[in-house]
Structure 1
Amino acid sequence: MVSLMADFESADKASLFVTTRWSVVLAARDGEGRYATVAMETLCKTYWRALYVYARRHGLPPPDAEDVTQAFFERLLEKDYLKSVQPERGPFRAFLQMAFKRFLAKEHEHATALRRGGNAKHLGLDFLEAEAVFTADSPQLAADEVFEAHWAMTTLQAAMTALRAEFRDAGKEQDFDILKTTLSASGDGSSYEKMGVELGLSDGATRIAVHRLRKRFRELFRAEVAQTVASHEDLNEEIRHLVAVLARG
Structure 2
Amino acid sequence: MSEPRARPPDESADWFVTTHWSVVRTVGDTATTVAQEALEKLCLTYWYPLYAYVRRKGHDEHESQDLTQEFFARLLARNDFAALHPSRGRFRAFLLAAINHFLAKEWRKAGTLKRGGGQAPVSLDTTLAEQRYGAQAAIEPTPERLFDRRWAETILERAATQLRDEFTGEGRETLFRELNVFLSAPASAGDYASVATRLQMTESAVAKTVERLRRRYRDLVRREIAQTVSTPAELEEEMRYLLKVLA
**TM-score for the superposition, normalised by structure 2:** 0.92
Question: How far did 1:242 drift?
Answer: 0.7
**Structure-1 residue corresponding to 2:211:** 211
**Structure-2 residue corresponding to 1:159:** 159
Q: Does 1:36 align with 2:35?
A: yes
Q: Which residue type is aligned with residue 112 of structure 2? A: A
Question: How far did 1:8 drift?
Answer: 5.3
Q: Does 1:9 align with 2:16?
A: no
Counterparts of 2:113 and 2:59, CA distance in 1: 17
SS at match of 2:31: coil
How many pairs does the alignment contain?
A: 244
Matches within 5 A, 1:40-189: 40-111=39-110, 113-115=112-114, 118-139=117-138, 141-189=141-189
**Structure-2 residue corresponding to 1:195:** 195
Deviation digits for residues 126-157 of structure 1 (CA, Å, limit 9, x no counterpart): 11111111111243521111111110100110
Q: Retained in 2: the 8 A contact 1:58–1:143?
A: yes
Q: Retained in 1: the 8 A contact 2:66–2:113?
A: no
Counterparts of 1:138 and 1:231, CA distance in 2: 32
Counterparts of 1:185 and 1:114, CA distance in 2: 44
Distance 1:141 1:197, change over 3 A: same
Q: Retained in 2: the 8 A contact 1:192–1:207?
A: yes
Gaps of 5+ in 2: none
Please tell me the root mean square deviation across aligned C-alpha atoms, in Å. Answer: 1.9
Deviation digits for residues 86-142 of structure 1 (CA, Å, limit 9, x no counterpart): 443411000000000000001112235242773444312111111111111243521
Distance 1:54 1:210, change over 3 A: same
Deviation digits for residues 42-96 of structure 1 (CA, Å, limit 9, x no counterpart): 0000000111111111011111111110010011111154444344341100000
Counterparts of 1:29 and 1:76, CA distance in 2: 16
Distance 1:150 1:226, change over 3 A: same
Q: Which residue type is aligned with residue 214 of structure 2? A: R
Q: Retained in 2: the 8 A contact 1:149–1:245?
A: yes
Counterparts of 2:116 and 2:24, CA distance in 1: 29
Question: How far did 1:29 drift?
Answer: 3.2
Counterparts of 2:245 and 2:111, CA distance in 1: 31
Question: How far did 1:189 drift?
Answer: 4.6
Larger deviation: 126-135 or 29-38? 29-38
Identity percentage of aligned residues: 40
Q: Which residue type is aligned with residue 215 of structure 2? A: K
Q: Retained in 2: the 8 A contact 1:8–1:219?
A: no
SS at match of 1:124: coil
Question: How far did 1:194 drift?
Answer: 1.3
Distance 1:119 1:138, change over 3 A: closer
Distance 1:55 1:234, change over 3 A: same
Question: How far did 1:33 drift?
Answer: 3.2
Counterparts of 2:145 and 2:205, CA distance in 1: 41
Counterparts of 1:39 and 1:141, CA distance in 2: 32
Counterparts of 2:191 and 2:4, CA distance in 1: 22
Larger deviation: 58-67 or 178-187? 178-187
Larger deviation: 223-232 or 183-192? 183-192
Distance 1:117 1:232, change over 3 A: closer
Counterparts of 1:85 and 1:116, CA distance in 2: 23
Distance 1:112 1:47, change over 3 A: farther
